[in-house]
Amino acid sequence: MPAPHGHRRTGPPLLLLTALAITLSGCTGSGPGGSDDFGPEPTVASTPAKLRTQGLKFPLDAYERSTTEQRVLTRAQQMLTNRCMARYGFAFQAPATAVTPGDSTDDARRYGVSDPETAAAYGYARPNKPGSTRTPPRQPELSSTGKLVLYGASDDGKPQDLPASQQEAEAVRKKGKGTTKVGGEAIPVGGCIRESFLKLYAPTRDSVDVLFVFQLISEAQSRSREDSRVRRVFKRWSSCMKESGYSVSNPAGVASQLGLRDDELSSPRAITAAKADVACKEKVNLVGVTFAVESAYQRQLINKNAETLQLVKKQDEDRLRFAASLTAA
């Protein structure tokens, strides 16, 4: 499922992404929201007048981690990786991973450019984020054996066949499968990176997929784009843009529709188009309508997945307690 455009929350940290070669099994039989028809379009009680997208609060925000919480989890996973490597004699330090604050400039592009000042100054280019030009930390140099321990053996199997929880991984180990050894000890299936991920994010078979909430957000956004009210406001915005001489249909991809190259995103032509774009969004209340409809689909998904979302909250609380115990030690 595609990532929500301009999703403003912190994404999974680097090590977590490395371990996410498969979608972990969750507590529901099918994917988030299920595959059944949602029925009639959800009711929208009220539609706010909105232009800027910074600070929008969505129903599913209640099930996402804060920037501070994600920092704690990222650090905990790094520590678990380091400890795993130490079992095999490697003084390894997992590289620090930056966690971008949730209130980032990405939020300003959820529905395309929508801030008048930013449009007038940058057009469709993104303002530089503080620290965005920093060089990423270098990965520690590892021997071939060290890489084997860190990433696992090449014959561990296809990603989708690897254990989806630490509980399953322990069962595999006890059965003697995946017995590549270093220093007389079998290395974890998928290596220390996968072990650290499973211990933190999927310790048991009933652990909810770490991307469950993200997938719900993506599904709500996808469904809202097909909603008649959003289609209607997009059409009105497109007509407004046509009056200014621009033939575009998708407010989230105007620059590409206008054929603007990367080095032209803040050109005079781009700035003129972006200013018209924002003015048309304000005229038809595109942000307000789309936000209200997307929120309605999120509430619908929350109702359909209430039991699993309660597990998400509980498991996140347990996970944070475990992470805190690691970082405090």
CB 277 within 8 A of CB 241: yes
Tell me how many degrees the CA angle 228-292-116 measures, rounded to the nearest 5: 100
Type of residue numbered 86: A
For the entire predicted model, the pTM comes to 0.82
The backbone region for 85, taken as left when phi is positive above 0, alpha when psi lies in -120 to 50, beta otherwise, is alpha
Pair 13, 198: CB distance under 8 Å: no
Whether the CB-CB separation of 275 and 112 falls below 8 Å is answered with no
Question: H-helix or E-strand containing 186?
Answer: strand 185-186
68 Cβ contact list (under 8 Å, min separation 6): none
pLDDT digits (tens, 9 = 90+) for 87-124: 999 999 887 665 554 444 455 688 999 999 999 999 99
Chain-centroid distance of CA 249 in Å reads: 26
Q: What are phi and psi of 185, to 5 degrees?
A: -115, 135
What is the secondary structure of 82-105 as a DSSP string?
HHHHHHTT----PPP-----SS-G
> 31 with 216: CB under 8 angstroms?
no
Q: What is the pLDDT of residues 290-317, one digit of tens each?
A: 999 999 999 999 999 999 999 999 999 9
Per-residue pLDDT of the chain (329 residues; tens, 9 = 90+): 444 444 444 444 444 444 443 334 334 334 465 445 567 899 998 999 999 988 899 999 999 999 999 999 999 999 999 999 999 999 998 876 655 544 444 556 889 999 999 999 999 998 875 544 455 556 668 899 999 999 998 777 777 778 899 999 988 877 766 568 888 888 998 999 999 999 999 999 999 999 999 999 999 999 999 999 999 999 999 999 999 999 999 998 999 999 999 999 999 999 999 999 999 999 999 999 999 999 999 999 999 999 999 999 999 999 999 999 997 76
Per-residue confidence (pLDDT) for residue 214, from 0 to 100:
96
Cα 11 vs. chain centroid, distance in angstroms?
Answer: 4
